[in-house]
Amino acid sequence: MLIYNSLSRQKAPLKTVEEKKVRMYVCGMTVYDFCHLGHARMLVSFDVVQRWLQVKGYEVTYVRNITDIDDKIIKKAVATNKPIQEVTAFYTDAMHADEKALQVESPTHEPRATQHVPGMLQIIQDLEAKGLAYQGEDGDVNYAVRLFPGYGKLSGRSLDDLRAGERIAISDSKRDPLDFVLWKSAKVDEPADTKWESPYGWGRPGWHIECSAMSKALLGLPLDIHGGGPDLKFPHHENEIAQTEGAYGGELANIWMHCGPLMVDNDKMSKSLGNFRTIRETIGSETASKDLATYDVNVREAEMLRFFIVRNHYRSAQNFTPDNLFDAQAAIDRLYQTLHNVGYDEVEVDWTSCYAAEFSEAMDDDFNSSLAVSVLFELNTAANREKSKKLASQLRALGGVLGLLQQNPATYLQSPTRYTRHQTSDASAISEEQINALIEERKQAKQSKDFAKADHIRQQLKEVGVELEDKPGGLTQWRRL
């Protein structure tokens, strides 16, 4: 297997610390709001990575953390007049609902930052003993960036070019503007549940130290793979390296993986641009509520979103537009239509087949799911051409490797969807009961040889996004376009 290493900026063979075991740490969510589409890309991308590693016979210990103490969390708790734990519990449940909707498998461990404060303090004390950490006049403990020779090696920036990251506050008590906070001194007006006692006084951990402590505690050093979103390379991952390697030497991780950015209409997604979209807004049914952690999921749209992400290489930039969603929906529909028409058995992947070999070759080359998906469509064409249940069964099995094509095809195809060019604005409003009633009315019309009425009903259904297919024996099947 070849994996692109963001640190070396080239592909290299996967070599693990322990034979056939992978220790993978991925930076997870800060739970103060609902997950957005950028989070969806990260969640699905690394889900595909851990799935494929398991297919290749590796025992994967996958750790994805939860940041449950942070300035934004405190701000949300104060604004809503709720305890920190209540806020983080709600948005953690909401995140789990999103993961379930997108068929993202649970990580092996899901540590909370608040569970690892003692470990964070130990790393800070070790850094202080080595002269890499100091306490400022304001009580904050900072990392002395310029005293760590390797700083900037992940982001590829020199110290003179670097600027403090989004979450790095600059204060007069810092020796250098680039120094970042390891321990934040508690403020008088901050809630009591945001403070821990420490050798440096009451306070709370800085953001970066959290992942250094959790990854070391659960996986040891070095990690085989450390991953995350593209915005974490600097400052978060750069600072993790400085902390962990500064305290303990060696390498924090042998391979660094970062998924590409997800854009919306070719712009970076942001609330100020009005293009910010949450996962639940994109795949939730109309009964989905922002007041509830869990929500009703439109299963067809959820699969569309997962497919939309998987059909692109995880490192590529991805653009979220209506046309791209329409294309993704139409494409995954074709695969389900084949399973519906040709039929399938529940089988294991036949890795000796030419299709599976091509699929495997693609995934072994830096998890190239884009090329692997193209193999699914080759298999789809062959299954249709040959009316082969055996090939359709392999299509479903290989799709399952990517977390796709596991729904009942008839149920899937009859689910309403917003993401199609063929529907009118109220197309999904027609219910299954109304569709079946019109099909029955059409059947009666055909029996009465009123073919004009039968054709009119077919056209009437097509105009609201429902396509009929007459089968032998008088059976009529339908699907939403």
Binding-site residue set for ATP: 271
Q: Determine the angle formed by the axes of helices 207-219 and 238-248, rounding to 10 degrees.
A: 60
Binding-site positions: 27, 211, 236, 240, 271
Cα dihedral across residues 69, 75, 79, 81: positive or negative? positive
Q: Report the distance separating Cα 31 and Cα 95, nearest Å.
A: 8
Residues of the binding site for Zn(2+): 27, 211, 236, 240
Pairing of strands 476-480, 133-135: unpaired
Dihedrals phi, psi of 149, to nearest 5 degrees: -60, -30
Three-state secondary structure of the chain: CEEEECCCCEEEECCCCCCCEEEEEECCCECCCCCEHHHHHHHHHHHHHHHHHHHCCCEEEEEECEECCCHHHHHHHHHHCCCHHHHHHHHHHHHHHHHHHCCCCCCCECCEHHHCHHHHHHHHHHHHHCCCEEECCCCCEEECHHHCCCCCCCCCCCCCCCCCCCCCCCCCCCCCCCCEEEEEECCCCCCHHHCECCCCCCEEECHHHHHHHHHHHHHCCCEEEEEECHHHHHHHHHHHHHHHHHHHCCCCEEEEEECCCEEECCEECCCCCCCCCEHHHHHECCCCCCCCCCCCECHHHHHHHHHHHHCCCCCCCEEECHHHHHHHHHHHHHHHHHHHHHCCCCCCCCCCCHHHHHHHHHHHECCCHHHHHHHHHHHHHHHHHHCCHHHHHHHHHHHHHCCCCCCCHHHHHCCCCCCCCCCCCCHHHCCHHHHHHHHHHHHHHHHCCCHHHHHHHHHHHHHCCEEEEECHHHCEEEEEC
